[in-house]
Structure 1
Amino acid sequence: MGRQKRTLGLGLSLLLSCAFLSSSHSAAVEDVRTGGTALCGVPSMGRIIGGMNAQRGQWPWQVNLNFDGHHVCGATLIAPQWLVTAAHCFPPVNPIDRYEVTLGAFQLKNPSDDLVEKLIQEVLKHPEYTDDEGSKGDIALVKLKEPVSYTRTIRPICLPASTVDFPRGMKCTVTGWGNILTSTSLPSPMTLQQLEVPIIGLDTCKCLYSKDPDPEDPHVLHNDMMCAGFAEGKKDACQGDSGGPLSCRIGDAWLLAGVVSWGDACGAANRPGVYIRTAAYADWIKEKVPEVALSNVVASMEPVSETGMCSNTSSTSDRGPYDDIQPLPGWNRPLNPSQPPPGSAAPSLSSASLSLIFLLFQSFYYLL
């Protein structure tokens, strides 16, 4: 498969506990319908044994966006009536009234009784977004027609303030649903998947993307972007949803560090996943959604050295900090984001193609 810029979706992996010290920052957020409160970024769960499948209620801010009844993108709940997602999930050719939002979803083919479905009132794309692949400002706020009540499986994530930094090497988790093989959907009941990836510094990521460039399809990483993944190829899976959350834990709560945006090819070396940094748009989000609280916290871990991660030589002595991490056997092959799964009536959305590059990680234990 030739290199081509594409919007990203999501892959599979297991969790690793990120016990970073910070001041407690779990903001109490009010449910406008019930008057109750819930902590942002805190699932109502206990100990979880890590696995490729997530557990029900483990990621209560994960949202499913449907178009014409088919899953097309992920999104993240930030307030009773507001979501964050990627702007490219709403191409101009797609009428807003044909989208539907499902919250509290876990197994898409086995919906639970407490699943909540909502329609969209409006979509606010950031003014800098241009509807081009790889555009800066690939972030959008989605206002629901009605607010949702918080439950055990429906809770918001915390939002980082503009000053919050997620250091190099910090392990975060991306979640969502998606295909497991070329044109092959997740097996029924389509259980929510999770993948852990380390943050890669933007300079290192630019260096990686500068290797073997395609002059007809240049890759530009803007300052509102961040990378997560691995320099080595052949360890990833092309599956999942654009617009989904990259969740990073600091202290006692999870923050929305990034929104899945784009990538290049599938399984290609030197092409980690690219996200929009939520912190870069914290002030814009606060302006549009005044009720959200921004968490101003600091991760206690020191950034990981990325010396040797991107080198102009091919010497095996230039090893990166993550080179010893090995994938699970049977990592998945690239999928064609322009074609729906067999038997699906989902339209082809060229400007909202839903593939993503991510690493299949080893097993870990995760403690919430």
Structure 2
Amino acid sequence: MGRWLALRSFGLALGLMFASGAFLSCSHCAVVGEASTRETVLCGVPSMGRIVGGTDAQSGQWPWQVNLNFDGHHVCGGTLITPQWLVTAAHCFPPVNPIDRYEVTLGAFQLKNPTPDIVVKQVVQVIKHPEFTDDEGSKGDIALVKLKESVPYTRTIRPVCVPASSVSFPKGMKCTVTGWGNVLTSTSLPSPMTLQQLEVPIIGMDTCKCLYNRNPDPEDPHVLHDDMLCAGFAEGKKDACQGDSGGPLSCRVGNAWVLAGVVSWGDACGAPNRPGVYIRTSAYSDWIKENIPEVELSEVKPNVEPVSEEDWIKNTVGEVDEGTCSTAPTLLFPPWILVACWFLPYIFGTG
């Protein structure tokens, strides 16, 4: 079976730096604090200075990360985009689960050690994308969740920026996936369940398809649709796992963080040739705007040079096991044989 509830979170994330300023505007900016110390909250900007990240995140480092609970148990992650709406994976809401038994925890850091500044809200509406089919790896695995009441923005509760449909994230760009998922396929995150972070590079779709075609399971085929995005490592070991579906893949553009993807699925946890698969947020930006008019979509352009796919393949994929995901055509015969065959008619006077 594949991995449906997905954020595989092990391995160290590299150092992350946050700037106190912001260059993106958003319609859901809010005022936080008393009149004498009020500040404007912009999407994608934590209220923190420089952070050197590791496996454990720090309190307030990812203030848009939310915890989705069903009957009091953590089931998925999610991302706050306005005071009353969040984005998550559609498969986090199977038809058998009544909506009124879900709750959302905002501002959480350690799930087993809640602090006084966390906020818990009930869910009143879930809008799944109409293309979602409840099948593992389905297209359209994205859902919008409306909270019963709006939440005030604080140091630990802030929205992420939502990219416009024109925004793309280049191959090789390093982004960060966060969540409270398993640390191994069958091993839960140990108490106090500290929020995990992992820096992963974006992988081109052609390369990702090639990786998933290596040693495929005929009984469990994997289809990568055009609304998906891959990120991770060909060698595995660092990945997402069960329990973090719906969580954010956040990419820093300038001084703010943008929601590049929503954790959707994968095959096992940290297995070679099986990077994490995310729903590409920009593919559904217009749909999000239609349902949540107050969202302002961010027109940003990541200033990152895309990594050569061939170099990436040569440096990573080819070292995993035999065979490579070469972008060049494969020759069945040595080149000299092909050349000799081309000249044979002329040699024997039949050309």
- TM-score normalised by structure 2 residue count: 0.83
Q: Partner of 2:258 in structure 1?
A: 255
Query: In the alignment, is the contact (CA less than 8 A) between 1:159 and 1:256 conserved in 2?
Result: yes
Give the direction of change, closer, same or farther, for the CA distance of 1:188–1:28 in structure 2 (3 Å limit).
same
Q: For residues 187-235 of structure 1, give each alpha carbon's deviation from its aligned partner in whole angstroms, at most 9, with x where no partner exists.
A: 2211111000000011110111111122221111000000000111345
Q: Match of 2:134, SS?
A: coil
Instruction: Measure, in 2, the Cα distance between the counterparts of 1:259 and 1:284.
Output: 15
Q: Partner of 2:216 in structure 1?
A: 213
Give the direction of change, closer, same or farther, for the CA distance of 1:146–1:19 in structure 2 (3 Å limit).
closer
Q: Match of 2:245, SS?
A: coil
1:49-198 equivalence runs, <5 A: 49-181=52-184, 183-198=186-201
Instruction: Measure, in 1, the Cα distance between the counterparts of 2:131 and 2:242.
Output: 27
What is the letter of the counterpart of residue 14 of structure 1?
A
Give the direction of change, closer, same or farther, for the CA distance of 1:200–1:296 in structure 2 (3 Å limit).
same
Offset of residue 254 of structure 1: 0.1
Larger radius of gyration: 2
Deviates more, 1:225-234 or 1:6-15: 6-15
Q: Match of 1:48, SS?
A: coil
What is the letter of the counterpart of residue 25 of structure 1?
L
Whether 2:240 is the aligned partner of 1:242: answer no
Instruction: Measure, in 2, the Cα distance between the counterparts of 1:14 and 1:193.
Output: 9
What is the letter of the counterpart of residue 154 of structure 1?
I
Instruction: Measure, in 2, the Cα distance between the counterparts of 1:280 and 1:159.
Output: 11
Instruction: Measure, in 1, the Cα distance between the counterparts of 2:259 and 2:306.
Output: 19
Offset of residue 10 of structure 1: 3.3
Instruction: Measure, in 1, the Cα distance between the counterparts of 2:32 and 2:125.
Output: 20
Q: For residues 23-78 of structure 1, give each alpha carbon's deviation from its aligned partner in whole angstroms, at most 9, with x where no partner exists.
A: 93243624499998411000000111221111100000000000000000000000
Query: In the alignment, is the contact (CA less than 8 A) between 1:29 and 1:37 conserved in 2?
Result: no
Q: Match of 1:6, SS?
A: coil
What is the letter of the counterpart of residue 4 of structure 2?
R
- Counting aligned pairs with the same residue, the percent is 72
Whether 2:226 is the aligned partner of 1:223: answer yes
Structure 1: gaps spanning 5 or more residues: 321-368
Give the direction of change, closer, same or farther, for the CA distance of 1:6–1:240 in structure 2 (3 Å limit).
closer
Structure 2: gaps spanning 5 or more residues: 326-351
Q: For residues 85-141 of structure 1, give each alpha carbon's deviation from its aligned partner in whole angstroms, at most 9, with x where no partner exists.
A: 000000001000111100000011111101100000110000000000000000000
Higher-RCO chain (CA-CA 8 Å, sequence separation at least 6): 1
Offset of residue 18 of structure 1: 7.6
Q: For residues 135-180 of structure 1, give each alpha carbon's deviation from its aligned partner in whole angstroms, at most 9, with x where no partner exists.
A: 0000000001111110110000000000001000000001111233
Q: Match of 1:269, SS?
A: coil
Query: In the alignment, is the contact (CA less than 8 A) between 1:26 and 1:42 conserved in 2?
Result: no
Which residue among 6, 14, 19 is the counterpart of 1:8? 6
Q: Match of 1:110, SS?
A: coil
Q: Match of 1:204, SS?
A: helix
How many residues align structurally? 316
Instruction: Measure, in 2, the Cα distance between the counterparts of 1:206 and 1:239.
Output: 22
Q: Partner of 1:325 in structure 2?
A: none
Q: Match of 1:151, SS?
A: coil
Query: In the alignment, is the contact (CA less than 8 A) between 2:111 and 2:192 conserved in 1?
Result: yes
Whether 2:47 is the aligned partner of 1:44: answer yes
Higher share of residues assigned helix: 2
Instruction: Measure, in 2, the Cα distance between the counterparts of 1:112 and 1:307.
Output: 48
What is the letter of the counterpart of residue 271 of structure 1?
R
